[in-house]
Amino acid sequence: MPLKKLQMTPGMNREGTQYTNEGKWYDGDKVRFRKGLPESIGGWEKRTPNTFQGVCRSIFRWNTLADKEYYTIGTNLKYYLLNGNSFDDITPIRVAAAGLASNPFTTVNESTTVTVADSSHGAEEGDFVIIASADTTRGIPAADLNKEHQIVTVPDTGTYTISVDTAATSSGTGGGTAPPTVEYQINTGLETSVLGQGWGAGTWGRGTWDSATDIIAHGILRIWHQDKWGEDLIFNPRLGPIYFWDASDAAGTRAGLLSAESGADNVPTIVTQILISQIDRHLNAYGCNPLGSSTHDPLFVRWSDQENNVDWDPTAVNTSGSQRLSVGSRIIGAINTSRGETLIWTDRCLYSQQYIGPPFTYGFRFMAGNVSLIGPLAAGFIDSKVYWMDRNNFYVYDGTTKAIKCDLLDYVFDDINKSEYEQVFIAPNTHFNEVSWHYCSASSSVIDRYVTYNYEENIWYFGTLDRTAWISEEGINNPLATSTTGGILFKHEYGVDDDGSALNSYIESSDIDMDDGNEFMYMHRIIPDIGFTGTATSKTADLITKKRNYNGDTLSTHKTQAVTDTTKQIFPRLRTRQAVIRFESNTIGVGWRLGHMRLELQPDGER
């Protein structure tokens, strides 16, 4: 029988069954398509051997006026500055250098748990405290006490516990008659959303903002928003105050409240998201407390004076101001475009914000209804367009809003954890014309999957990967991303391996048959068309044939056969009504790209 070229439609398709998708790729992992052909994605390795604490939700990059490159890493526990290979902790301080009472520590014999007494600590489990000037206490060396600690428990408003390295040799109190001092970092946040809560969780105005009890609302995933102001950094935790970090400060200097900067006037104290309009140089606060109020308004927008990020009090001689949006109940996210336009998503619609000059400064225009944003980090400006993911579709904005036809729509939205929408983030990879969204599958509370849209070839594919944040932009040779555990920053599209281990990638076809399955077929041989990359001396992968006779049958593996760069042909000798071909690689130092395999098929009776 003559050979038949196996030509598959580019991309993966899950809009039908594996049989109705004949001629298409049905399944795969860690695979992309270039010029219509599948290949393994690039590998990754650690960007630095050092690690950070917590789960990262944002990576930000900028350069100073001296062309020094900085990255920030925002986690649920800390806010870091990547300085070379080191993670400098610049997490703001909530309460600075407060003196405790004499002998504030209580110990239990042979225990490493120390109870600290402080009637106004305002701390929660997981928060960080820095203790100084404490004396050796009940056999616990002073060095064990005088450092940063993560609070283990908070029994009540007047005490909390920490864990030290050396166990106490007796029970009692201690710490010194000259009172030790403590510094409390801002309250930590959640690494996953709280079921049944989310955007509206907690009390918006809890505590007096800028005071010692400035606690972020509970039930909200800890997400950071940041932007550059010249060479300096402005950022905020979602539903928290605005912070400022001066690039001219010494390494390791912590960020401080913007409201504490010289000349600060009515800076918002509880903000959903900050964003700087780089063209007209206003600092915008989306979803914030109105002027003269300490109550959070989730639809309220305020902006500072032009070129002055600390002046928020509107007068006749400045351009600061405000506007309340009218459609929806809360702002979910905002993003700048290249046209001097900012897009704002509420939970019900899309707005456009544009600079129009004095006296109103900004104009706000309703752009589209019945469209929103699945999570605050799910939109990105890529290749002069804005792409985003909603709760039931994918969209692109190029002056108008359009839904993107997706061959994986049901596959994604039927198996997504609806309680963890806030974790969804966008991951552009412009070198390959890709935009991906990473999300939690229905059975997972941490991100374990991604779906990718190749906007140049208008095709989709998907896979599994544990990432929580991503950055890829002009000036970055390799995208950077963080994992769900371990505090690791990875450099992507580097080599072909998974940080020194094999990268398991595969692509699987839909069902193949002859004469619509009226006859059994005999697949005598396959002539592979595979190109290999990587550093392995012996490059090999597996070509797997599967079979079933009816759609309701479970696919069973017929034969797994090794393929190398010198393999001319293989002989599966497969008799079946319906066949599936899978190409899989799980070897260190091996990357691959498929061409057009050829099959020798003929009608045959079943033995």
- pLDDT tens per residue, range 256-311: 999 999 999 999 999 999 999 988 999 999 999 999 999 999 999 999 999 999 99
Return the amino acid letter for 305: D
Share of residues in the chain with pLDDT > 70 (%): 95
Query: What mean pLDDT do residues 524-549 have?
Result: 95
Give the integer Cα–Cα distance in Å for 599 and 597. 7
What was the pLDDT predicted at 201?
Answer: 41
Q: Is the pLDDT of residue 544 over 60?
A: yes
Q: Prior bond to 49 cis, omega within 30?
A: no
Question: Alpha-carbon distance 531 to 585, whole Å?
Answer: 12
The model's confidence at residue 202, banded by pLDDT at 50, 70 and 90, is very low
Q: Look at 344 and 217; give whichever has higher pLDDT.
A: 344
173-204 burial, b for 16+ CB within 10 Å, e for fewer? ebbbeebbbbbbbbbbbbbbbeeeeebebbeb
pLDDT-derived band at 219 (thresholds 50, 70, 90) equals low
Residue 515: pLDDT band by 50, 70, 90 thresholds? confident
Q: How far apart are CA 569 and CA 544, in angstroms?
A: 14
In this predicted structure, what is the pLDDT of residue 214?
Answer: 38
pLDDT digits (tens, 9 = 90+) for 113-155: 999 999 999 999 999 999 999 999 999 999 999 999 999 999 9
- Are the CB atoms for 563 and 585 separated by under 8 Å? no
Cα angle value 433/434/437 (rounded, 5°): 165
- Provide the mean pLDDT of the chain: 93
As a whole number of Å, the end-to-end CA separation of the chain is 20
Can you tell me the distance from the alpha carbon of 463 to that of 391, in angstroms, rounded to the nearest whole number?
19
Q: Cβ distance 601 to 523 under 8 Å?
A: yes
Of 24-28, 83-87, 211-215, the range with the lowest mean pLDDT is: 211-215
Q: How far apart are CA 561 and CA 153, in angstroms?
A: 56
Whether cis (ω within 30° of 0) applies to the bond prior to 359 is yes
Confidence of residue 220 (pLDDT cuts 50, 70, 90): confident
- pLDDT higher than threshold 90 for residue 206: no
Tens-place pLDDT, residues 388-407 = 999 999 999 999 999 999 99
Inform me whether the pLDDT recorded for 591 exceeds 90: yes
Chain segment 88-103, per-residue pLDDT in tens? 999 999 999 888 999 9
Q: Which residues neighbour 518 within 8 Å (Cβ) at sequence distance 6 or greater?
A: none
Residue 277, exposed/middle/buried by CB under 10 A (0-12, 13-18, 19+)?
A: buried
Reported as type and span, the H/E element at residue 40 is strand 37-40
Displacement of CA 370 from its chain's centroid (Å): 25
Task: Specify the 3-state DSSP secondary structure of 74.
Answer: strand
| pLDDT the model gives residue 98 | 85
Range name among 84-93, 404-413, 515-524 with the lowest pLDDT average: 515-524
CA distance 488 to 484: 9
Return d(Cα 372, Cα 333) in angstroms, integer: 9
In whole angstroms, how far apart are CA 24 and each of 37, 447, 578?
Answer: 12, 27, 14
What does the block give as tokens for 566? 């010198």
* DSSP letter for each residue of 290-323: PTT--S-EEEEEEE-BTTBTTB-S--TTS--EEE
For tokens 């946040």, the residue is: 189
The Cα angle at residue 253 between residues 247 and 258, in degrees rounded to 5 = 70
Residues 6+ positions from 49 with CB-CB distance below 8 Å: 85
User: What's the token pair of residue 442?
Assistant: 């229905």
Number of C-beta neighbours around residue 485 at 10 A: 10
Pairing of strands 467-471, 24-29: unpaired
Q: What Å distances lie between residue 541 and 243, 291, 569, 584, CA to CA?
A: 51, 64, 14, 6
Q: pLDDT higher for 476 or 455?
A: 455
CA 524, 527, 532, 538 torsion-angle sign: positive
Quote the CA–CA distance of 595 and 576 in Å, as a whole number: 25
479 closest CA partner among 460, 452, 511: 452
CB distance 509 to 549 below 8 Å: no
* pLDDT for res 1: 63
Taken in order 214, 219, 222, 226, the sign of the CA dihedral is: negative
Strand 9-12 relative to strand 24-29, pairing: parallel
